[in-house]
Homo-oligomer: A and B are copies of this chain.
């Protein structure tokens, strides 16, 4: 049994750009903006950083291979910089890599920075002449053709299955999911860094055009550009930088290519990698009852149904009972465990390499009591949940931090 990394590493500074249609900012501009905020927040100088990890997924469309874009953009000559990528969970991986390096003794102060620009160029999945595939699978097989972005469809199937299993009509199910989006839009409306900053109503959600039935426009997160950064250090050094550092309690990843699930009659109403990653994270952090111990969560709400399934997969709501918690306001800003206090992917969009760190930015600010109009009362333990892939074929990264 490994000893784990609980309380060995602290976050002492974070930065995050406004997410959105940042056509006037290059990826470099975004990186610099997030980085400058992070080092100012940490009260360190650039030369104090001993190593860095950069997360971005789509080399094909954005800043290319390696971590040299970070090296040149932030002007960090001869620093060790390394790129990590794990689909939509890449941002959490940058934080995990930097944390392990610090806890290992290799470095004392490290940078994790995630960035992606997708608004200008689109995901590589969009149809292009002479380029009819998006992803090459293992053994060279095509995973999906470019005319099919699988994500809305995959999660739409999850919604239908969930409604069916727990006896919700499509109308009831859609109305339940609508409450999730309404809640996140309310939170996002309070956040100057969010892409979408307006309240919506249940009726807006119900009447919106379908993207993948039964999911409509307001059940889906958007696409945006953005960057987010964290400065981490050895826990025993942290108070020399600031009085209110945030400590890493657990870093957990679980990945599954889908074969085990498919061969074992996967039920399509949950994401098993979330269940596995959560179990490991709670053990590492010493959390016995997450429903009582967690103060707030930022989860991977790429679709409203995803957020609902996560409530259950994280063991917050009992299986099949997320409905009760949604209806009672359990996850709202003034509820027991606010979920997506910053507005979530729903209001931030999803510049892939940045999202995991954007989630941590909100948790960090909340734990420090600096979340302004969105501030939660006396939070102690925050959780981020970052998902890559689709329900049966996914990478899930869960990080738990506390003050």
Which residues does chain B contribute within 8 Å of A140, judged by CB atoms?
Answer: 26-27
Give the most central of A78, A107, A137, A273: most B CB within 10 Å. A78
A251 within 8 A of B: yes
User: Is A242 an interface position by the 8 A CB rule?
Assistant: no
A138 to chain B: which residues have CB within 8 Å? 26-28, 63-64, 69, 72-73
Verify if A180 is at the interface (C-beta below 8 Å from B).
no
Q: Give 1 or 0 for each of A192-206: 1 = CB within 8 Å of chain B CB.
A: 000000000000000
A135 partner residues in chain B, CB cutoff 8 A: 64-65
A101 within 8 A of B: yes
- Are A257 and B86 within 8 A (Cβ)? no
User: In the bound complex, do residue A60 and residue B63 qualify as a contact, i.e. CB atoms below 8 Å apart?
Assistant: no
Chain A 86-103 per-residue mask, 1 if CB under 8 angstroms from chain B, else 0: 110000010011011111
A272 CB–B CB distance under 8 Å: yes
Is A57's beta carbon under 8 Å from chain B?
yes
Counting chain B CB atoms within 10 Å of each CB, which of A4, A51, A104, A393 scores highest? A104
Report the separation of the CA atoms of residues A393 and B77 in the bound assembly, to the nearest whole angstrom: 11
The distance from the CB of A118 to the nearest CB of chain B, in whole angstroms, is: 13
Q: Are B103 and A104 in contact (CB under 8 A)?
A: yes
Cα distance A67–B26 in the bound complex, in angstroms = 28
A321 within 8 A of B: no
Smallest CB–CB gap between A281 and chain B, Å?
11
Instruction: Give per-residue flags for A46-70: 1 if the beta carbon is below 8 A from chain B beta carbons, else 0.
Output: 0000110000010111111111110
B85 touches A65 (CB 8 A): yes
CB within 8 Å of B: which of A1-35? 1-5, 8, 26-28
Contact B65 A57 (CB under 8 A): yes
Q: Given B61, B66, B99, B139, which contacts A395 in the complex, CB threshold below 8 Å?
A: B66
The winner among A4, A28, A139 for most chain B CB atoms within 10 A is: A139
Bound together, the chains give a CA A97 to CA B65 distance in angstroms of: 18
Verify B77–A260 contact, CB threshold 8 A.
Answer: yes
Interface string of A145-178 (1 = CB under 8 A from B): 0000000000000000000000000000000000
Contacts known (A26-B139, A108-B2, A138-B28); A254 close to B79, Cβ less than 8 A: yes
Alpha-carbon separation in the docked complex, A5 to B69 (Å): 27
Residue among A87, A140, A252, A255 with the highest chain B CB neighbour number at 10 A: A255
A390 to chain B, nearest CB (A): 11
Nearest CB in chain B: distance from A103 CB, A = 3
Assuming the contacts A2-B105, A3-B105, A83-B85, asked whether A63 and B136 have C-beta atoms less than 8 A apart, the reply is yes
A397 to B, closest residue via Cβ: B80
Known: A5-B104, A104-B103, A276-B78. A393 touches B68 (CB 8 A): yes
- Of B2, B100, B256, B272, the residue contacting A100 (CB under 8 A) is B100
Task: Point out the residues of chain B lying under 8 angstroms from A45, CB to CB.
Answer: none
CB distance from A120 to the nearest CB of B (A): 8
A372 within 8 A of B: no
Alpha-carbon distance A64/B273, docked complex (angstroms): 20
A82 contacts the other chain (Cβ, under 8 Å)? Answer: yes
A-B contact pairs, 24 of them (CB 8 A): A2-B108, A3-B105, A4-B105, A4-B106, A5-B105, A5-B106, A51-B253, A64-B137, A64-B138, A66-B255, A67-B255, A67-B395, A71-B256, A72-B138, A72-B257, A78-B254, A78-B255, A79-B255, A80-B254, A82-B84, A82-B93, A83-B86, A99-B104, A103-B104
Shortest beta-carbon contacts, A-B, top 9 = A72-B257, A103-B104, A80-B253, A3-B105, A77-B260, A100-B104, A100-B100, A104-B104, A66-B87
